[in-house]
Amino acid sequence: MPMKLLEVGMGLAMMYVLLAMVVTGLMEFWAAAWDKRSRVLTRGLARMLGNAAKSLYEHGLVKSLQIGNGPPSYIPSGTFSLALLDLVAPGAKTPDDVAKSIESGATVVDDKLKESLRPLINAAEGKMDRLRNNIEGWFNAAMDRVSGTYRRSTQAGLLVTSLAVSGLINVDSIRIGTTLMQDDALRSATVALVDQTVTSQEFSDKVHAAAAATPKEEETQHNLVDARKKLDQSLSAVWELGMPIGWSETSLAYFLKRPFVSILGMLITAIAISQGAPFWFDILSRVAGIRSTVKPKTKQKSGEDAEDLSKN
């Protein structure tokens, strides 16, 4: 019985890994379709620069990063520093030149930006390269906050999307767990798939790469085509498992007979897959390792018991 429970847990964890990849694919597809990363970056720069943000996007150094018609979703800190200094103090050779330019009001600098630049200029101690480094540090700190905002909004969207996926596909953890306990063939096939999956470096890379993207990374990493491809592959893997999911006639009858239990099972699924594919893949790898060490001992004990019975 303990081994059977362990294998049921492996089956559920495998299901959560695949469903979490489906959810991640949907999130990436939505982010690419709505250009979410560039929108978050635009809001972050507007808070930093005020009225100068629009002019920064029109600067040649920044505009060259644009792919398609929308604004870029990533700006290197060095590019930001050079473009900003060229906007607020074109031709400046020293921090004093920059200070004079922003105080004169001749360029696109409002009071908020002046207030931010003054301490950076003072801390440069007359050295232009130090001023550029100070501006880059300021930009990186601001982008860390932008990334945090992006991750928080993504986490909320992740939970909502997980709820939608578990409901639309009808993924009831309670029913799946019960089925795995009773169906030895399905459980064995699922465990075999797990054993094959946890040793696959390619699959591991896909799982962990899904959670690695932030607004500061390359925008070409998660374009619309790639997101759609990942989503299709993850959905195919879910259906191939052969678990009791989907809204077939049998599943609908099961739901109508046990609506509250089914809804609870879907909620469990949603909360589980919202933890992300890397979380469940790491757990799955550990559980598979435990099973591989326990299984030989179980077989050995069964053989010894059989030998004792034959002697008796």
261-287 pLDDT, tens digit per residue, is 999 999 999 999 988 888 888 888 888
Contacts with 302 (C-beta within 8 Å, 6 or more apart), sequence order: none
Residue predicted with more confidence, 46 or 196:
46
The predicted pLDDT at position 32 comes to 65
* Mean pLDDT (whole number) for 199-211: 68
Contacts with 294 (C-beta within 8 Å, 6 or more apart), sequence order: 3, 6
CB 254 within 8 A of CB 175: yes
Residue predicted with more confidence, 154 or 50:
50
Specify the pTM. 0.62
pLDDT at 55 over 80: yes
**Alpha carbons 277 and 13: distance in angstroms, whole number:** 9
Amino acid at 158: L
Give whole-number Cα distances, 115 to 100, 110, 137, 205, in Å: 14, 9, 16, 45
Give whole-number Cα distances, 280 to 19, 179, 232, in Å: 10, 20, 20
The predicted pLDDT at position 213 comes to 45
> Phi/psi of residue 212, each to 5°?
-90, -20
In 3-state terms, what secondary structure has residue 257?
helix
The predicted pLDDT at position 216 comes to 40
Amino acid at 64: S
